Amino acid sequence: MASSPAAIQKFERNVPRVTYCCFFFDMNVGGTLLSLFGIITGFAYLARSLHVLYNIHAFEMGLGEDDALNNEDDNIWVVYISTMFVGFFFVIVSIFMLYGSTKRMAHHVFPYLIGILLSTFWSIVLGTIEVFDSDMDLALGYFIFAAFQFYLWVCAVSLYRDLIEVEQNPNKPTRTTV
């Protein structure tokens, strides 16, 4: 039987709980879809980073005069190596989520909760930076993306709480089905 620490249980009671993931999917199906989307997104980050790093000269030639990466101070290598790290991170935590949602193991869902929360926080930071750079359209896009990620985080927390209930009392009827 798995049990959450008291601080996490207190925090979980304050987080909204949804019945359906993405408004009409069962929680286990929604968790599986979220993890598959995370795996695809992670591989897309990896592929884009590897493509740019492999063809760095062609990428630099395509930058415009006013492009943010076209400064001598900016290092394209750092940007795309960090993007590669983010992609790898998303693949790993999404694989944990996929395994946890299909095998009904709450502790495997927890890394995804941390990953999506960090990603939401980072989107808010980037949006705030864009506000100060006076690019309001991009800032709005980051904030909308952060709100969407927060909703997905609430879905994942609901799945986590459902799976904790199943682990604590396997005979109890649950809201989730397989």
Tokens 């993931």 belong to which residue?
21
Please give the residue that has the higher pLDDT: either 177 or 157: 157
| Greater model confidence, 164 or 76 | 164
Q: State the pLDDT at residue 125.
A: 84
pTM listed for this prediction: 0.70
- Taking a C-beta distance cutoff of 8 angstroms, is the pair 142, 127 a contact? yes
Which of these, 68, 40, 62, 27, lies nearest to 164 by C-alpha position?
A: 27
- For 103, which DSSP code? H
Using DSSP's 3-state secondary structure scheme, residue 21 falls into: strand
User: Beta partners for 21?
Assistant: 25
* Structure confidence at residue 1 as a pLDDT band (50, 70, 90): very low
Mean confidence (pLDDT) of the chain: 76
Q: 177 pLDDT exceeds 70?
A: no
Percent of the chain with pLDDT over 90: 8
Distance CA 14, CA 8 (A): 10
Question: How does residue 167 score in pLDDT terms, banded at 50, 70 and 90?
Answer: confident
| Backbone CA torsion sign across 112, 113, 114, 120 | positive
pLDDT at 62 over 90: no
- Say how far apart CA 31 and CA 23 lie, in whole Å: 13
